[in-house]
Structure 1
Amino acid sequence: MSHEDHVKVNGLSFTMQVKHKPWSNDDQSYPKQTVKVSVDIVHDITTAAASDDYTTSVDYVTICAAVQAVCNREPPADTQNLSLIEELAEELAAACMKDSPNIWMVIIEVELPKGVLSAGGAGVRITRTRDGRKSEMDCFYIKKWQVRTFIGAHEHELRESQPIVIDLSIDRDPKSYKRFDIFPWLTTALQKFMELNVYRTAETIAAELIKKSFELLKEGTSSVTVELSKPVALLVADTAQITLTRSKFDLEGPSSPYGNPPGVSFSAIAIGSNVGDRFKNIETALRVLENPSNESAFDTITKGNAGLVTVTNTSFMYETSPMYVLGQPNFINCACMVTTTLSATELLKLLKAVESFVGRVPGERFGPRIVDLDVITFNSETIDTRSETERENLENLDGHLVVPHPRMLEREFVLRPLNDIIPDWLHPHVHAPIRILLDRLLQSKPPNEPPMSKVIPFPSYNPESENFGIHVPSTLSYWVLPSLAGSPGSSKTRTYLMATLNTTPDSFSDGGLHTDLTAAMSFVSKSVAGGADIIDIGGYSTRPGAAFVSIEEEIKRVVPVILAIRESSDEKISTILISIDTFRPEVARAAVRAGANCINDVHAFSGPGYPPPANWEANFANMRDLARSLAVPVIMMHSRGDAGSNKDYSDYPKRKRSNVGQVIDGIRIELGQKVQRAIQGSGGVRRWLVMVDPGVGFSKTTEDNLEILRHASSITADEPFDRDLVPFTFQQAIVSTRSPPAALPPLLDRPREPLVTSQPSLAGFPLLIGASRKSFLGKILSQPSRSSNSEGKSLEHPGRETNPNERVYATAATVACAVQQGAAVVRVHDVEEMADVVKIASALWI
């Protein structure tokens, strides 16, 4: 059994330069000042205590030497290269663990005793682990800050300002906050704010200071604590004091910066199924939950009222090994956020009725179930409907509501989906956000425990299907995606192959080759035999200058091929997954009704044109509604109208300390905005049904395309935007904590103003890469190459001009790169050859 004992070295003092000064001005000099360092090492000292052998514990001398080596070094000549105190803390944590290999976790505190004028000190406290996880919030604090303000419940108290003493603590996510010297700027702003206002109570001052701190330091801030003392409030006591802590969610709610209207609550619901068609069970439950008044079975709960529950956001979907009761089928797990006018107990009652409607019957505890719906959170409330005498254990929960859910902290299949949608929600009992709770759980899991796997289901449609509305289609098959970061026991996965079938006369690569049904079916047969996982069928060329095609003509080109595939006597062909490559809702509906299982939209719902045309809102809403009603996966691609135009990404400033190009941020912002609009709010597409495509070859230069291939994984990485470096407006998707407005906020045609959020909007989405045979490969192949002979003389080797079908080997290089970057899908023309590439590349890198 491991213990979290602590070995500490407190108050090491140094006189040194750091990038901080207690006053706010433009002077770029940073004088030497006192810096105090404390080190808290989390280390199990059981062995040392039992053996009385100091060598099995932590050597104080080694720790001191490591800290001194960092703090006593010569400062850089350029003061702009000095370390901020949080950067100094990072260096100290790394140094302590480097010189003491038995240290697993270290807590570093760096304090500036004179860091804030009229305060007892300011500093930062960070927690770091050897494996690089930043699993705790960084705490920035100001101690004993003395200010004067007007405060009092009585008129005579307001005749002159009173002294108050403030202790301020700000918990910030080390993965997402912008780094700069916050203290002089923050204290100046807060001081001016207090000077302009008069308060009756200390409670109001504390609450307003918290709100203002969030406003000033919104990015990455999880919670703020204010401890406020009034030294002259009571003549018979030293001080009167209040302490107030508020999280981001206390101020904003989980999905909207605007909060909830009166009478509306937000709740997180965990969903699971491991019996029958698990995906259909879950989708059916969600549709019934949102429309219970459509079914007479719910009349006693809903009293005929519609709109009592609205799903505003969903997580990714995961396949999970059973917990508690082994030997049963794997579960499919996910979560959703809802807004509701029901009380918490009424919501629970409705969820149980939905379970029964879908087909759940009483059975073994933690055993198989058709569907399971659990209330995990309700606002930020703590609720336990059991009597006080029944709360000693968790064996008597049936028929009762306990929130936050009492078992959520031990369940990855709950925390991971919640982390997709409310990573910053602060647990009211353990005072940590979801993302930290998940990180802690992952660190404690044994390495041989089966990992959770992200999955995408594909529904089964055919010409006779009438599976529209509340009754959802059955599942044809599902994909298991590359292993999740942080999951122990990662399993082998593979990149899926999408075969490209263009039934057009003018596509850039295979135009005219598959316009008749016989040729198209021959390609399908060869692709299926070669290892294709899905056939992507398009009837409208996206090459620059392609001829206009009417909706009717596009349908005529694609639907017969889909029908022929579904009617094939070869089961491998008749059951192959099909995606329809179109940006038109009418074509997508006709294709899915004929048997397609996925929509591939090169314009990500907004339609062609850049800047977006006048009718983009209607097109976006139509595609969103269609994808939601059909419950089919969608591929949303980044583009800027005509593929050969709009290639300038220079408005996106280059990142500091990063070799990632501007085009990557352009994709993350522009495509991310559309994806968030698609998945959030009433009627949103399920997050687990969305894949993203960075649009290689669409409004990109050759270097841009290479940049995407080199850094594809960063597009969907859990990396926040830097507010200082990316000056763009990120319009939040409308979320239905309110009724949707008549007109959605406009999409960007170009970057303009600072971001309102730093959260990564494409984080975690499955990535599709389509570089097959594209013109930028031909451009590279046509360029001469150079070498030198034995005499050092330069030799030039001429490049070669290639047709698209001569770029197979060039495509192979891009496919190998895509696999290495973690792409879930590659879109290719030469299936058999690329199947070999995927297999070898997967063996090398996955």
Structure 2
Amino acid sequence: RNWIADIQTQMGRSNESRWAPRPMDIDILLWGETCLDNPVLTIPHAGMQQRGFVLTPLLALEPRLQVPGLGDKTILDWSRELAHHIPLWMGILNLTPDSFSDGGQFTAWTQIEPHVDAMVAAGAHIIDIGAESTRPGATPISDEQEWSRLAPVLERLLAKYQPQLLRPLLSVDTYHPEVARKALELGVDIINDVSGLSSPAMRELACSSDKDWIAMHYVSIPARKDKTLPPDCDPVDVVEAWLLQQLESWDKAGLNLSRIIFDPGIGFGKDGLQSLKLLQQAARFRRHGVRVLMGHSRKSFMKNFSALDVTDKDLTTLGASLNLCAQGVDIIRVHNIPMHTSAYRGWAHLVAP
């Protein structure tokens, strides 16, 4: 009995010709290690490794997965070969009174809810929530202070979005292990650690978790203008060497590398030219078997080639973001989600399929 055909018929699909338009379609992409090829069903699905709309969700689930019958390449390897790789968009929600761009704008639920709703409606796949500023000169706060800002907002966002089938993932931007632990217990999907999992307690938490972890390269937390990479170094070489060292360390510690997302740390211990070079060569980091996130939005180094107002910074950020799309970056973290997703749709429809 063809269960797939039965379901399609119940959903209103008739027996059209093979390539005719149809109201719905069911494909089985993978079934464990099964390889099947007959007139009715092919598993793995033929050509799945050539389709961005298939690989993008698989990247979020298991980026290091090898497709049975297709050799040693991983999902991440296949996605690197696509002319058009589809990124995930991460929207920023700062609950801080002193963030460099929008500090103090989102401290009450009446401000927070419409802002998050607008990002989700515009196509944000992830909402990254931070409650401690890491800008240059920021004053560090305690675990208790950070959690007092985060907890009520997380509880309301989780209550609102968790029941939804197609919901945004919720990420917490913290380098405090105790805050990360509490956030995971509440039910968040991602921990965004700007200290690159440098804390033994944070690494231990990551090893025992099945959630995703963003590990950022940094020089100091908070960022300091007087503490940067040497001016005569190649920042891409330095950051790449750090990543390789960490990957070896994380692997030995038992951390599931499929759950790691790497952030080169634009503006964190890099001067303006070094940040630009990291953006220019973002694709280079994708060859190491982990997903790559870029967080360049409204960063101060953009004043070197744009005005200081927020609108112009958003436009400059957008220009860089479309270049990152072309480089195949997996996750792009920005403040202005509606501007980015609208521009991306126009850009994506003109690039080669």
The 5 Å alignment of 1:792-831 reads 801-831=307-337
Q: How far apart in 2 are the matches of 1:695 and 1:455?
A: 21
- Tell me: CA distance 1:523–1:818, structure 2 relative to 1, closer, same or farther (3 Å): same
Is the Cα–Cα contact under 8 Å of residues 505 and 512 in structure 1 kept in the other structure?
yes
- Out of 93, 105, 109, which is 1:513 matched to? 105
Tell me the equivalent position of 1:323: 35
Is the Cα–Cα contact under 8 Å of residues 696 and 770 in structure 1 kept in the other structure?
yes
- Tell me: CA distance 1:570–1:693, structure 2 relative to 1, closer, same or farther (3 Å): closer
- Out of 46, 61, 64, which is 1:457 matched to? 61
Query: Residue type of the partner of 2:228?
Result: K
Is the Cα–Cα contact under 8 Å of residues 637 and 692 in structure 1 kept in the other structure?
yes
TM-score, length-normalised on structure 1?
Answer: 0.33
Q: CA deviation at 1:325?
A: 5.1
1:692 aligns with 2:287: no
Is the Cα–Cα contact under 8 Å of residues 79 and 85 in structure 2 kept in the other structure?
no
- Out of 229, 242, 259, which is 1:648 matched to? 229
TM-score, length-normalised on structure 2?
Answer: 0.77
The 5 Å alignment of 1:340-351 reads none
Query: Residue type of the partner of 1:568?
Result: K
Q: How far apart in 2 are the matches of 1:845 and 1:583?
A: 40
Is the Cα–Cα contact under 8 Å of residues 87 and 331 in structure 2 kept in the other structure?
yes
Which structure 1 residue ranges, 5 or more long, are not aligned?
Answer: 1-318, 332-447, 459-479, 607-618, 653-661, 718-762, 782-800
**CA RMSD between the two structures:** 2.7
Q: CA deviation at 1:523?
A: 1.3
Tell me the equivalent position of 1:666: 238
Q: How far apart in 2 are the matches of 1:665 and 1:840?
A: 34
Q: CA deviation at 1:651?
A: 6.4
Q: CA deviation at 1:548?
A: 1.9
- Out of 130, 137, 140, which is 1:548 matched to? 140
Q: CA deviation at 1:501?
A: 0.4
Q: How far apart in 2 are the matches of 1:569 and 1:824?
A: 23
Structure number with larger C-alpha Rg: 1
Is the Cα–Cα contact under 8 Å of residues 604 and 671 in structure 1 kept in the other structure?
no
SS of equivalent to 2:196:
coil
Q: Which structure is higher in helix share?
A: 2
Is the Cα–Cα contact under 8 Å of residues 106 and 112 in structure 2 kept in the other structure?
yes
CA displacement, residues 303-332 of structure 1 (integer Å, 9 cap, x when unaligned)? xxxxxxxxxxxxxxxx7575235637769x
Which structure 2 residue ranges, 5 or more long, are not aligned?
Answer: 1-28, 63-74
Query: Residue type of the partner of 1:484?
Result: S
Aligned length: 300
1:594 aligns with 2:173: no
Tell me the equivalent position of 1:676: 248
Q: CA deviation at 1:511?
A: 0.4
1:638 aligns with 2:233: no
Is the Cα–Cα contact under 8 Å of residues 76 and 289 in structure 2 kept in the other structure?
no
Q: How far apart in 2 are the matches of 1:638 and 1:513?
A: 28
1:769 aligns with 2:294: yes
Q: How far apart in 2 are the matches of 1:628 and 1:328?
A: 36
Q: How far apart in 2 are the matches of 1:677 and 1:821?
A: 27
Is the Cα–Cα contact under 8 Å of residues 455 and 481 in structure 1 kept in the other structure?
yes
- Tell me: CA distance 1:672–1:840, structure 2 relative to 1, closer, same or farther (3 Å): farther
Identity fraction in percent: 30
Tell me the equivalent position of 1:623: 202
- Tell me: CA distance 1:505–1:329, structure 2 relative to 1, closer, same or farther (3 Å): farther
Q: How far apart in 1 are the matches of 2:94 and 2:80?
A: 36
Q: CA deviation at 1:693?
A: 0.8
Tell me the equivalent position of 2:158: 566
Higher relative contact order (CA 8 A, sep 6+): 2
Tell me the equivalent position of 1:836: 342
CA displacement, residues 118-149 of structure 1 (integer Å, 9 cap, x when unaligned)? xxxxxxxxxxxxxxxxxxxxxxxxxxxxxxxx
Query: Residue type of the partner of 1:649?
Result: P
Q: How far apart in 1 are the matches of 2:279 and 2:103?
A: 26
Q: CA deviation at 1:493?
A: 4.2
SS of equivalent to 2:208:
helix
- Out of 517, 527, 532, which is 2:124 matched to? 532
CA displacement, residues 181-206 of structure 1 (integer Å, 9 cap, x when unaligned)? xxxxxxxxxxxxxxxxxxxxxxxxxx
Query: Residue type of the partner of 1:635?
Result: I
Is the Cα–Cα contact under 8 Å of residues 773 and 805 in structure 1 kept in the other structure?
no
Query: Residue type of the partner of 2:319?
Result: A
SS of equivalent to 1:484:
helix
SS of equivalent to 1:716:
helix
Is the Cα–Cα contact under 8 Å of residues 563 and 595 in structure 1 kept in the other structure?
no
SS of equivalent to 1:455:
helix
The 5 Å alignment of 1:325-474 reads 327=41, 449-451=47-49, 453=55, 455-457=59-61
Q: How far apart in 1 are the matches of 2:182 and 2:42?
A: 39
Q: How far apart in 2 are the matches of 1:540 and 1:823?
A: 26
